[in-house]
Structure 1
Amino acid sequence: MSNNLLAGKRGVIFGALDEDSIAWKVAEQCVAQGAKITLTNAPVAMRFGGVQKLGEKLNAEVIPADATSLEDLENLFSKSMEALGGKIDFVLHAIGMSLNVRKNRGYTDLKYDWMQKTFDISAISFHKVMQTLYQMDAMSDWGSIVGLSYIAAQRTFPDYSEMAESKALLESFARSFGYHFAEKNKVRVNTISQSPTMTTAGKGIKGFQEFFDYADKMSPLGNASAEACADYCVLLFSDLSRMVTMQNLYHDGGFSNMGMSPKLIEG
């Protein structure tokens, strides 16, 4: 259902890979709620995904950008403002990748050059995105920036490996840059700690199906879907959340506050 919550707003969505991506659902919902957007992903990811198809569907320009490259980001935001006709009102950072996880390197046997790449792609890119927006003065007053996180930033999930530290760093960047953006032009910065979600990236993690089922039983409301996360992003991009900033917001069906669920004991 559309309430035109984002009517007249302009946004940039990072990370839409395929129809299972949270970013894909966010892009669709933002446009349904009246926004104009541009889409972006790393050139290598674009070769394997369907973001061009999404762009055609949503009448959204697709602009390749490596989020670890300041030059690419400057080009992205310049072209986005040109395509959208003004400054940017909202940005979604939905980027995460670990070579150690992909190649099944255990946490006690990590390759450190891969770890550094994980941090750069999954977390430091968030700071680069915000710093570029800040220095270009590309965000509208009272804009909104959101990064997708996960509760492994606070709790130990062994198979999540160094992505846990990436998410902790991502959340810290949101708090730190949130202060500076609020002082500059009232832009708010938050992270969403989302339930395990059946995305292409999520399904690539060892034991993901078992953990997805566990989290679903542990959460009183069940796991939050990608579509529900898209709705929550729309709320954070809208004027209804104008005083919310520097927060890590749990969107997980109650998982984060549970100790034990009878459903797990009953089997």
Structure 2
Amino acid sequence: MSYNLLQGKRGIIFGALNPDSIAWKVAERAHEEGATLTLSNTAIAMRMGETQQLAKKLNTEAIPADATNVDDLNQLFTQSMDILGGKIDFILHSIGMSPNVRKDRHYSDLNYSYLDKTLDVSAISFHKVLQTARKLDAINEWGSVVALSYVAAQRSFFGYNDMADAKALLESIARSFGYIYGRERNVRINTISQSPTKTTAGNGVKGFDRLLDFAERMSPLGNATADDCADYCITLFSDLTKRVTMQNLFNDGGFSSMGMSLRALQQYEKGLHEDCECGPAADEHLYD
């Protein structure tokens, strides 16, 4: 159902790779709510993914840009304002990648070149987006910028690796830049800490299926879906949340406030006397 919450607004959505992407769902919902928008992803992601198909569906354009490259971002904002006919009202940063996770490097044995890449892509790119937009005066007054985070920014989760560091930095950038952009131009900046969600990126996390099941059992309302996250993003893009800024907002069915649920405890008790299914080697669980 559409409520016309974004009627007349213009936006940029980063990271819509395929229909499983949260960014894909957000773009569709924003369009349903009356917004016009452009899509952006890296050139290689556009070749491998389905971003162009989404752009066609939404009657818009997909602009290739590396969010870690300031020149690319300058071009993206300039083209987007030209295509959309004015300044931007909302931005979604849905970008994350860890070579250490992909290469199965343990957190106690990180490749630091990989770590630099993780932080640049998953967090520092957010600062570059905001800094570029501010220098170009590309965001309208009372505009809204949202980045997607995860509770691992505050808590330790096995297998999330250096992405936890990236998400912590991402949330810090939202607070620091939120103060500056808010005081200067009434632009609000927030992060959403989403439930574990089946996306291309999420599936790369070690033990993801088990994490998904655990979060479902722990959360009073169950895991929030990609569609749920899209709805939440729309409210933050809309004028209904004009004074919400510098916040990390949990969209996780209550998981972040839980200690232990009965469903999770009962499942744990069932496995107390069973051998681990992960393999016989003790070294596999040295740091679990």
Q: TM-score, normalised by structure 2?
A: 0.92
Partners of 2:253 and 2:263 lie apart in 1 by 14
Give yes or no for the alignment of 1:132 onto 2:132.
yes
Q: Separation in 2 of the partners of 1:44 and 1:98?
A: 16
User: For residues 35-184 of structure 1, what are the structure 2 equivalents within 5 Å?
Assistant: 35-184=35-184
Residue 247 (str. 1) matches residue 238 (str. 2): no
Q: 1:127 corresponds to which letter in structure 2?
A: H
Corresponding position of 1:186: 186
- Aligned sequence identity (%): 63
**For residues 48-79 of structure 1, what are the alpha-carbon distances to aligned partners after superposition, in whole Å with 9 as ceiling and x for unaligned?**
10000000000111100000000000000000
- Are the equivalent residues in 2 in contact too, given 1:70–1:132 (CA < 8 A)? yes
After superposition, the C-alpha distances for 1:206-246 in whole angstroms (9 at most, x for unaligned) are 11001100001100000000000000000000000000000
Deviation at 1:185, TM superposition (A): 1.1
1:125-156 CA-partner distances (Å, limit 9, x unpaired): 00000000000000000000000000000000
In the TM superposition, residue 44 of structure 1 has moved relative to its aligned partner by 1.3
1:24 — aligned with what? 24
What is the Cα deviation at residue 158 of structure 1? 2.4
Q: Secondary structure at the match of 2:166?
A: helix
Structure 2 Cα separation of the partners of residues 21 and 123 of structure 1? 18
Q: What secondary structure does 1:16 align onto?
A: coil
CA distance, structure 1, for counterparts of residue 266 and residue 211 of structure 2: 17
Q: Is the 8 A contact 1:41 1:64 kept in 2?
A: yes
- Provide the secondary structure at the position in 1 that maps to 2:233: helix
- Could you list the per-position Cα deviations for residues 104-137 of structure 1 after superposition, in whole angstroms to 9, with x for gaps in the alignment? 0111111000000100000000000000000000
| 2-structure distance, mates of 1:87, 1:40 | 16
User: Hey, what's the Cα distance between the residues in 2 that align with 1:132 and 1:219?
Assistant: 38
CA RMSD of aligned residues (A): 0.5
1:266 is displaced (CA, Å) by 2.0
Look up the equivalent residue of 1:81 and give its one-letter code: M
How many Å separate the matches in 1 of 2:23 and 2:260? Answer: 31
Classify the secondary structure of the residue corresponding to 1:59: coil
Does the aligned pair in 2 maintain the 1:107–1:158 contact within 8 Å? no
Mind listing any 5+ residue stretches in structure 1 that lack a counterpart? none
Cα separation, 2, equivalents of 1:171 and 1:206: 23
- Whichever residue aligns with residue 194 of structure 2, its letter is Q
* In structure 1, distance between residues paired with 2:218 and 2:228: 18
Letter in 2 for 1:174: A
Q: What is the aligned partner in structure 1 of residue 201 from structure 2?
A: 201
Mapped partners of 1:258, 1:206: distance in 2: 23
- Would the aligned equivalents of 1:224 and 1:253 in 2 still touch at CA under 8 Å? yes
1:228 counterpart residue number = 228
Quote how far apart the aligned CAs of 1:96 are.
0.1
* Structure 2: runs of 5+ lacking an equivalent: 268-288
